[in-house]
Structure 1
Amino acid sequence: MRGTEVFRRVKPALWDVPTRLAELDSVGVDRQVISPVPVTLSMWADGKDAAEYLGRQNDLFAEAVTASAGRLRGLGAVPLQDIDAAIAELRRIKHELGLDGVEIGSRIGDLELDAPELRPFFAAAEEAGVPLFVHPTDGARATRRADPACMFGVGMLTDTALAATALVFGGVLDDFPGLRVALAHGCGSFAWTYPRTAYGDAMVRGGADSERTAHLRSLVERLWVDTLVFDPELLPLVASRFGAGHLMLGTDHPFLRAPLETALATLTEAGDRGILEESQVARILGRNADDFLGL
């Protein structure tokens, strides 16, 4: 609910641990990483209010993880409109709550991810060894159209690509070589926009530079992405761009229609058709996520 208005109808698996575990059992999923619904990241709120809200939400995530008897892992959220409070909550997430990482938006208010104001937060995440998961939040602002289908199909992917562009071309990954960052939905449209962006970068700098080209490629390959792209034909480029070892199974569970089945079917079909090697599929189904989370 948003006040007295129905915002979205959701299923009990969103908040009820036994129901969620039963849904995982129905499709043979052993473990799942739960994370905040992006709308709850609260970037529009006052910093103090956001810190209080997100702190309580993080407590509830930790309680759900404990109640799952090892079946669930968790990501928390931090009030990035107040960097000092965000760093304090990041450390609490890791050291007190025992969650595995932090979810952030693709845009922090009016700040892109390469904004200087965010550098102290990235430094703290690198120092603490806390991985970050970037989920789109501003799909409506990323396109001219705000209708739901366009926002879902184009806006979110564009928003994510802009976030990845900021990380790669804006110096974030250069400044923090130990930072682990994953982006949702196959990194949006970035796998397709990257070559043209790199070409534009070369033009601005006065021409192609093989050393910079190789360096940019190495930065892209540091990113982690999920496989929620809805079509196995898209996975070869995603795997080529980021490396199959940096792909993880993404589901958007419990949202979408049959999210677990849809995500698993896309990956299974990619293996059955030889689009991905069986060994790659096996790692995407688990080990890669363990590596990203540092487990």
Structure 2
Amino acid sequence: MLVDAHAHLLPRDYPADAPECFPRMEPVDGDTARTLVFGAMRFTARDAFFDAERRIQEQDASGVDVEVLSPMPPLLKYDLPAGDGLSLARWVNEATAQLCAAVPDRLKGLGMVPMQDPDAATAELKAIKDQGLLGVEIASNVLGKSIGHEQFLPFFTEVERLGLSVFVHAMPSPSERLPMSAMGTYVVGVEGAFAAGSMVTGGTAKACPDLRISFSHAAGGFPLMLPRAQYFWGGSWNEEPVDLTRAVMHDDGPSPVELARRFWYDSMVFDRRALRFLVDYLGADRLLVGSDFPAMLREDPAGRTLRTLDLPPEDLADVMSGNAFRWLGIDHP
């Protein structure tokens, strides 16, 4: 079995009387695709984004058994007025629930919340769970503030209490440290690292030990930062015993690596050597299959590079599906 834990959806339409700041989906002449119009953004969305039958055809063609569907990341637009952001989230969540209900054994859904208003986002989590959605997708930063900031701790505490999952998708910050042309490349790596790093340094990972959280694109550069963080914490190389004579930033633990091994990371890193490092350093139980489908084409077949790692069968089964079900908090079928 193969579970694609990083796949996206778009609603087919939005309300005719929606606020002007809402997205629109415009028809494409002679095609089943539709054009997403959201502010300055124009994106042609093929029908797999919003048609359940088409999604299943695409799954079967690439060897995928289950998809975890999260909103297309541009919908996580936190500069909307808070009330409009909540209305948009509710519309997208309803569309997600309906899409997944069409084929519930093949489609599992994550909702979205208006993180620009942490109190409203927290209050909305119960409704998301009641809709049958298994968690939420959030962006790696909220108007430039990393998700590990103490302002968002009550949100994550409630996520943990309700037994929901979190998927963090790397998104650019308003500071524009890198040009928008680098959004799909370097920004993903930088912002993913900021998000995961902030969950460790801000104390959320320690405060919420049962939080089930995953990061898109393996949290970018975060895994390669961990050995340095581990050295500063424990004063040793290669996770050897702690040497407090060398430690610079020691506390009572858990260590940075122990905290990082509470997270999950998707496999969209494009190179078997990167995947091997993730498995060797973080563990085969921390890795999920991810594709960014249908915004990007899947590897053909899905999971092809993972299968070249010669993992023990039980580890490969975990990466392909077992870890995803544990992250989602549901039984493996």
TM-score by length of 2: 0.79
Count of aligned pairs between the two proteins: 286
SS of alignment partner, residue 35 of structure 1: strand
Identical counterparts, % of pairs:
31
- Report the CA distance between 1:187 and its aligned residue: 1.8
* 1:226 to partner: Cα distance: 0.8
Matched, 1:107 2:147: no
Please point out which of 2, 6, 10 is paired with 2:45.
Answer: 10
Residue 208 of structure 1 is matched in structure 2 by 247
C-alpha RMSD of matched pairs (Å): 2.4
Match of 1:161 in 2: 193
Distance 1:60 1:91 in 2: 17
Which of the pair has more CA radius of gyration?
Answer: 2
Deviating 4+ runs (over 3 angstroms): 3-6, 139-146, 197-203, 209-214
Question: Could you say which residue in structure 2 is the equivalent of 1:225?
Answer: 265
Matched AA of 1:128: L
Give the TM-score, by structure 1 length. 0.89
Q: CA shift at 1:143, angstroms?
A: 4.1
The answer to whether the 8 A contact 2:144-2:175 is kept is no
Give the secondary-structure state (helix, strand or coil) at the position aligned to 1:7: strand
Work out whether residues 143 and 154 of structure 1, in 8 Å CA contact, stay in contact via their aligned partners in 2.
no
Distance across 2 between alignment mates of 1:159 and 1:288: 24
Unpaired segments ≥5 residues, structure 2: 1-35, 236-243
Equivalence map 1:1-295=2 (5 Å): 1-2=36-37, 7-94=42-129, 96-138=130-172, 141=175, 143-147=177-181, 150-199=182-231, 207-208=246-247, 215-256=255-296, 258-261=297-300, 263-270=302-309, 274=310, 276-295=311-330
Alpha carbons of 1:139 and 1:285: their partners in 2 closer, same or farther (altered >3 Å)? farther
Change (3 A) 1:66 1:134: same
Paired with 2:274 and 2:110, the residues of 1 have a C-alpha distance of 27
Alignment-mate amino acid for residue 111 of structure 1: K
Q: Aligned partners of 1:100, 1:18: CA distance in 2, in Å?
A: 21
Name the one with the larger helix percent. 1
Counterpart AA for 2:293? H
- TM superposition shift of 1:3: 5.8
Q: Is the 8 A contact 2:199 2:205 kept in 1?
A: yes
Contact 1:43 1:108 in 2 (8 A): yes
Amino acid at match of 1:223: F
Amino acid at match of 1:189: G
Q: What is the alpha-carbon distance in structure 2 between the residues aligned to residue 195 and residue 5 of structure 1?
A: 40
1-structure distance, mates of 2:85, 2:260: 32
Query: Hey, what's the Cα distance between the residues in 1 that align with 2:140 and 2:312?
Result: 31
1:227, 1:263 within 8 Å by CA — same for their partners in 2?
no
1:54 Cα shift?
0.6
> CA distance change for structure 1 residues 236 and 4 in 2, over 3 Å: closer, same or farther?
closer
**1:198, 1:240 → 2: CA distance?**
16
CA distance in 1, matches of 2:174, 2:281: 27
Q: Which has the higher contact order (CA 8 A, sep 6+)?
A: 2
Kept in 1, the 8 Å contact 2:93–2:112? The answer is yes
Higher strand share: 2
Give secondary structure in 2 for the equivalent of 1:90: helix
Deviation at 1:99, TM superposition (A): 0.6
Report the AA paired with residue 169 of structure 1: T
Give 1:33 deviation, angstroms. 0.7
Instruction: Describe the shift of the 1:14–1:217 C-alpha distance in structure 2 as closer, same or farther (beyond 3 A).
Output: same
In 2: Cα distance, 1:188 partner to 1:18 partner = 33
Kindly indicate whether the alpha-carbon contact (under 8 Å) linking 1:230 and 1:263 is maintained by their aligned counterparts in 2: no
How far the C-alpha of 1:214 sits from its partner, in A, is 5.8
Q: Deviations over 1:265-292 (max 9, x none)?
A: 221222xxx2x33322222111110011
Provide closer, same or farther for how the CA distance between residues 252 and 105 of structure 1 changes in structure 2, counting only shifts above 3 A.
same
State the 1:255 CA deviation.
1.4
**CA distance in structure 2 between the aligned counterparts of 1:198 and 1:107, rounded to whole angstroms:** 24
Shift of 1:229: 0.9
DSSP-derived class of the 1:167 partner: helix
* Cα shift at 1:102: 0.6
Q: Is the 8 A contact 2:217 2:268 kept in 1?
A: yes
